[in-house]
Amino acid sequence: MYQFTEDCIIGIEEIDREHRRLFDLINEAAELLALQSAAAAPVCRILAELKDYANTHFAHEEAYMEKTKDPELVLQRKEHAAFREKLAALLSASVTEDNAAEKLNEILIFLVRWLYRHILSSDMMIGRQPAAEDPFAFTDRYRTGIELIDREHMRLFEIIRDVNEVIHNNLLHDKFDEIMRLLDELRSYTEFHFADEENYMQKINYPDIEAQKRAHAAFVARLTEIDIDDLDSIDDNQQEYLQELIQFLGGWLINHILKMDKQIG
């Protein structure tokens, strides 16, 4: 049973309801699959339904973001498209009665992992207000009151700020190399920080540690996926893409600190 846990709730009713329905469908398929006697056909039917429902849901989500002029719409569209492609590929692989259980299981694992990760790292940002004048300044409202954590958050803000600066520096010769290097630094420092934070939570027996771990894993996965070579395929608006990317990363961090990390303190 895959839980649609509270940390997956983004606060927009229609979207939350549809996410829940996606989880329900995954659970239905998982339960059927767990039955030894079950044939592959009914599981495949649920997966086909899920595929259609996911498309409907993405369309709703994108329409909502278009209406609210959400700056992350471009990134979301890209992720949704990648999901559709991957799922279509998985579903079109030939399923025989012999390999059915294995193949279907693989699909379910992909679905659950993708969904958790996508909701926690991307959907979570839908409808969030962009931060004040200087979006990458670490201000008092981000303090958790735990010295180590605050210090590490400050460092994360610094790296994000550096990336932002390089993005906007048109004179820099090796701009993309430098951006790549900084993003790499951001990823490793983020991993380092999350480990520290999780250790701290463990030490104080923090009750919400599992939700924190899930959110952290989703964000790290997202950081690992950033591939600057993608930029070659979007010649026209590289600058815009990078700007959106860094705004997303900074925005996610802010939202996570305000919503989750501050509760640790």
Sequence-ordered list of residues with C-beta below 8 angstroms from that of 30, at least 6 positions apart, any chain: 1, 2, 108
The residue range among 5-13, 92-100, 177-185, 193-201 that interacts with Fe ion, by the rule CB under 5 A, is 193-201
- Please, what is the minimum distance in Å from the beta carbon of residue 43 to Fe ion? 25
- Please, what is the minimum distance in Å from the beta carbon of residue 109 to Fe ion? 19
Using the minimum distance from each CB to Fe ion, give the nearer residue, 7 or 261. Answer: 261
Using the minimum distance from each CB to Fe ion, give the nearer residue, 33 or 248. Answer: 248
123 touching Fe ion, by CB under 5 A? yes
- Please, what is the minimum distance in Å from the beta carbon of residue 42 to Fe ion? 28
Q: Mask of contacts with Fe ion, 52-71, x by CB under 5 A?
A: ---------x----------
SS3 content of the chain, % helix, strand, coil (to 5): 75, 0, 25
Strand, coil or helix: 11 = coil
Provide DSSP, 137-166: ---GGG--S-HHHHHHHHHHHHHHHHHHHH
150 touching Fe ion, by CB under 5 A? no
Q: How far apart are CA 177 and CA 173, in angstroms?
A: 9
What own/partner pairs with CB < 8 Å and gap ≥ 24 does 28-32 have?
A: 29/104, 29/108, 30/1, 30/2, 30/108, 31/1
The residue range among 82-90, 117-125, 158-166, 181-189 that interacts with Fe ion, by the rule CB under 5 A, is 117-125
Length of the chain: 265
Using the minimum distance from each CB to Fe ion, give the nearer residue, 24 or 191. Answer: 191
The residue range among 36-44, 116-124, 231-239, 243-251 that interacts with Fe ion, by the rule CB under 5 A, is 116-124
Using the minimum distance from each CB to Fe ion, give the nearer residue, 70 or 197. Answer: 197
Contact positions with Fe ion (CB under 5 A) in 203-262: 212, 261
Q: How far apart are CA 122 and CA 218, in angstroms?
A: 9
Residues touching Fe ion, count (CB under 5 A): 5
Using the minimum distance from each CB to Fe ion, give the nearer residue, 108 or 126. Answer: 126
Using the minimum distance from each CB to Fe ion, give the nearer residue, 43 or 125. Answer: 125
Sequence-ordered list of residues with C-beta below 8 angstroms from that of 231, at least 6 positions apart, any chain: 176, 238, 241, 242
Q: Which residues bind Fe ion (CB under 5 A)?
A: 61, 123, 197, 212, 261
